[in-house]
Amino acid sequence: MKIYNTLTKRKEEFVPIEEGKVRMYVCGPTVYNLIHIGNARPMIVFDTVRRYMEHKGLQVNYVSNFTDVDDKIIKKAQEEGVDSSVISARYIEECRRDMQAMNVRPATVHPLATQEIDGMIEMIGVLIQKGHAYVAQDGTVYFRTRSFPQYGKLSHKNLDDLRAGSRSLLVSGEDQKEDGLDFVLWKPKKEGEPYWESPWCQGRPGWHIECSVMSKRYLGEQIDIHAGGEDLIFPHHENEIAQSEAANGKPFAKYWMHNAFLNIDNKKMSKSLGNFFTVRDIAGKYDLQILRFFMLSAHYRSPLNFSDELMETAKNGYERIVTSVGNLKFLEEKAPIGPMTQEERELLKQAEGFEASFDQAMDDDFNTADAISAIFQLVKFANTYGKEGRTRAFLEALRRKITALADICGLIVEKQDEALDPEVSRLIQERAQAKKEKDFARADAIRDELLARGIALKDTREGVKVERVQARRSEDA
């Protein structure tokens, strides 16, 4: 399995620190609002990485934080006149709902920044003691960037260029810094803000320290994978490396993975441009499985453009898989039970080729776009060979192959089936009987009734096929 490592700018063979185990940390959202579809990209991408690694037999310890103390949370709390913990608790709950709807599995642990303050104070203390941090007049603690000569190694930035740039960026209050590149580890409280006691002042942590601390607490000093969106490479991840490696005296993460950004109609998503969508907005229009399918239809390191048109394409693609699985299931119901034929066994062998292509694509830095193409090839194969007259065992094996690959992508393609609803099955059989008896009025009436439930029947040469469609009444059929 190869992973593109931002640190080395190369695809590298993945070798976990401890055989068979993966320690993975993914920077999570700041919880002051419903998550937007940009935030959904790393969630879906790295959940898929996790699923694929598990498919390969690795045991993944997956940690992802919620940043629950931050200027934006405090601002929102002040606007609503509530405590900031009310805001963060509300949006953590909402985020979990969205994750579930996108079939993003909960992390092994979801630590909260506010529950880890002791660990942060401890690590900041170590950094001060080792000369990597200093306390300014007002109690602010800064990381001493020049004490960490490798600073810039992740973002491949030149320290002198960075330093020259940062000088002009100094804002008032930052004149206590020894160097423009120094960053905040701890800052004094302001009126009306949440704060904690510390050896330096009553205050709260800077943003970067939480991830160094939580990653160490839940995964250890050295981890396999650290991940997030590409905007986090600098300064957030660069600062995490400086803090962790300076405090622990060991390399921090072996592989750094970053997803590219999601844009809307080729523009940066922003509230002021009016092209800002929450996951909840999309849920009002599409099944979120389609959003997931859409996200995985591109490689995670390529920018991804969101538009109605592309979502429609994703919808068609996703439904092609769902329909194929639904048809197989329908055929299984009435297929003869008994051993597979020799021909069927050979066909299944052939189908394994698509599974191999799927793995090959995923092994190449999680190329989900090609992996989905492999699923489509399997679907096409299933549509060709999964016909009436096949044994139930064969049809079922084909169906399981499709659902297993989709499941690695976290795509639910087996609908909790109306087609399996005994009432629906009965109606379908009754319609077949009515047609046999040339009672076409009755057959049509049943077809309309099923349409009203969102089930379209198509008479094909291979027999009746079931398709899920939008439920409609017969008069608009």
261 binds, among Zn ion, ligand AMP, none (CB under 5 to 8 A by kind): ligand AMP
CA 360, 363, 369: angle at the middle one, nearest 5? 70
Least Cα distance to 466 among 441, 442, 446 occurs for 446
The whole-angstrom separation of Cα 220 and Cα 208 is 17
399 contact choice in Zn ion, ligand AMP, none (CB below 5 to 8 Å, kind-dependent):
none
By CB under 6 A, the residues from 15 to 74 that bind ligand AMP are 27, 29-30, 38-39, 41-42
Give 211 or 246: the residue with its C-beta nearer to Zn ion. Answer: 211
**Distance between CA atoms of 235 and 104, rounded to whole angstroms?**
27
Nearer to ligand AMP, 77 or 347 (CB): 77
Q: How far apart are CA 375 and CA 148, in angstroms?
A: 47
Judged by beta carbon, residue 219 or residue 328, the one nearer Zn ion is 219
For residue 211, the partner it binds in Zn ion, ligand AMP, none, with Cβ less than 5 to 8 A by kind, is: Zn ion
Span interacting with Zn ion, options 24-32, 86-94, 372-380, 449-457, rule CB under 5 A: 24-32
Closer CB to ligand AMP, residue 198 or residue 368?
A: 368
Q: Is 151 exposed, middle or buried (0-12, 13-18, 19+ CB in 10 A)?
A: buried
- CB 230 → Zn ion: shortest distance, Å? 13
Q: Does 229 bind ligand AMP (CB under 6 A)?
A: yes
Nearest residue relative to ligand AMP (C-beta) = 229
Beta-carbon contacts of 226 under 8 Å, excluding residues fewer than 6 positions away, are: 24, 25, 26, 215, 237, 240, 252, 253, 255, 256, 257
Contact partner at residue 231 from Zn ion, ligand AMP, none, CB < 5 to 8 Å by partner kind: ligand AMP
Tokens of 63: 């940690």
For residue 60, give the DSSP letter. Answer: E
- Residue 389 contacts residue 411 (beta carbons within 8 Å): no
- Please pick, from the candidates 27, 95, 184, 185, the single residue that binds Zn ion as defined by CB under 5 A: 27
DSSP 67: B
Nearer to Zn ion, 47 or 344 (CB): 47
DSSP 8-state code for residue 438 = T
- List binders of Zn ion among 189-218 (CB under 5 A): 211
Q: Which of 276, 270, 308 is nearest to 291 (CA)?
A: 308
Choose the one of ligand AMP, Zn ion, none that binds residue 38, judging by a C-beta under 5 to 8 angstroms depending on kind.
Answer: ligand AMP
Site for ligand AMP in 231-290 (CB under 6 A): 231-232, 259, 261-262, 269
Under the rule (CB under 5 A), what is the footprint of Zn ion? 27, 211
Under the rule (CB under 6 A), what is the footprint of ligand AMP? 27, 29-30, 38-39, 41-42, 228-229, 231-232, 259, 261-262, 269
